[in-house]
């Protein structure tokens, strides 16, 4: 009876050793390493159950392999999660999903006054000068949408700024709202201007 118990525990240790090896080998593979985590736990359990009956070296190796499988799995999953978070943030920043963050940390955008001047031949010229400064430590490009709204918050007009390849700390001025339809001119003079979207790439 005792020999059978020892054989069973030795077999458990061997099984745990195999599970530990498989767990370590698959712990680097995303998604599959979810199984590796449980294989590592089983390896440790099998190693502890056979602690008195199996070969000491095999038992220690089983437990160590189980621990390694668990640690590597958790580390790999954290690394993948961090990478996905970074990718998600980059996508949001590039598609305007992080406008507040871009304006707070990456770009300083100063909206000038909306100017209306009489040109030759009775024509009217309009413009707004916008200064964009890259506040990051790297060369970046920015896309900024500026909207003119009336007192009710309804959109009158909109325009875009494309600041390409601004080096760290560089500022550049842009002119927008240069082509305003005649029927919107009076409304534009009394409009409120605001940045509705800013993206960085």
Question: Domain 99-200 maps to which CATH number in 2.40.128, 1.10.287, 3.30.70, 2.60.40?
Answer: 2.60.40
Question: Could you tell me which residue, 196 or 11, shows the higher pLDDT?
Answer: 196
Mean pLDDT of the chain: 86
Question: Could you tell me which residue, 83 or 132, shows the higher pLDDT?
Answer: 132
Residues 19, 24, 27, 28, Cα dihedral to 10°: -150
pLDDT for the residue numbered 34: 87
Give pLDDT tens digits for 14-35. Answer: 888 899 999 999 988 888 888 9
pLDDT for the residue numbered 1: 44
Give CA 9 to chain center in angstroms. 48
Q: How many residues does the chain have?
A: 201
Where residue 6 falls among pLDDT bands split at 50, 70, 90?
low
* Two tokens, residue 36: 């590796």
Give the separation between CA 7 and CA 107, rounded to whole angstroms. 70
pLDDT for the residue numbered 192: 95
Give the separation between CA 90 and CA 87, rounded to whole angstroms. 5
- What is the side-by-side order of every strand in the sheet holding 140-149? 155-166, 140-149, 192-200
Share of the chain above pLDDT 70, in %: 87
Where residue 169 falls among pLDDT bands split at 50, 70, 90?
very high
Share of the chain above pLDDT 90, in %: 50
**pTM for the complete prediction?**
0.56
* Two tokens, residue 175: 């002119």
Give the separation between CA 13 and CA 61, rounded to whole angstroms. 9
Q: Residue 86 belongs to what H/E stretch?
A: helix 56-94
Give ranges for CATH 2.60.40 in the chain. Answer: 99-200
Give pLDDT tens digits for 86-95. Answer: 676 666 666 6
Q: Is residue 46 scored above 80 in pLDDT?
A: yes
């Amino acid at each position: 009876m005792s020999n059978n118990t020892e054989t069973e525990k030795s077999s458990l240790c061997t099984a745990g050793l195999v599970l530990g090896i498989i767990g370590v080998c698959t712990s680097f593979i995303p998604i599959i390493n979810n199984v590796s985590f449980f294989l590592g736990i089983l390896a440790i359990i099998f190693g502890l159950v056979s602690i008195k009956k199996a070969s000491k070296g095999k038992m220690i190796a089983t437990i160590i392999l189980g621990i390694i499988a668990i640690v590597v799995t958790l580390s790999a999953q954290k690394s993948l999660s961090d990478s996905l978070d970074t990718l998600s943030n980059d996508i949001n920043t590039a598609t305007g999903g992080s406008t507040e963050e871009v304006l707070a940390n990456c770009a300083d955008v100063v909206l000038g006054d909306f100017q209306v001047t009489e040109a030759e031949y009775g024509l009217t010229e309009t413009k707004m000068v916008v200064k964009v400064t890259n506040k990051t430590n790297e060369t970046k490009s920015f896309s900024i949408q500026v909207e003119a709204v009336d007192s009710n918050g309804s959109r009158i007009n909109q325009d875009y700024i494309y600041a390409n390849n601004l080096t760290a700390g560089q500022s550049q001025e842009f002119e927008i709202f240069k082509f305003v339809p005649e029927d919107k001119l009076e409304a534009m003079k009394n409009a409120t201007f605001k940045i509705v979207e800013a993206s960085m790439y």
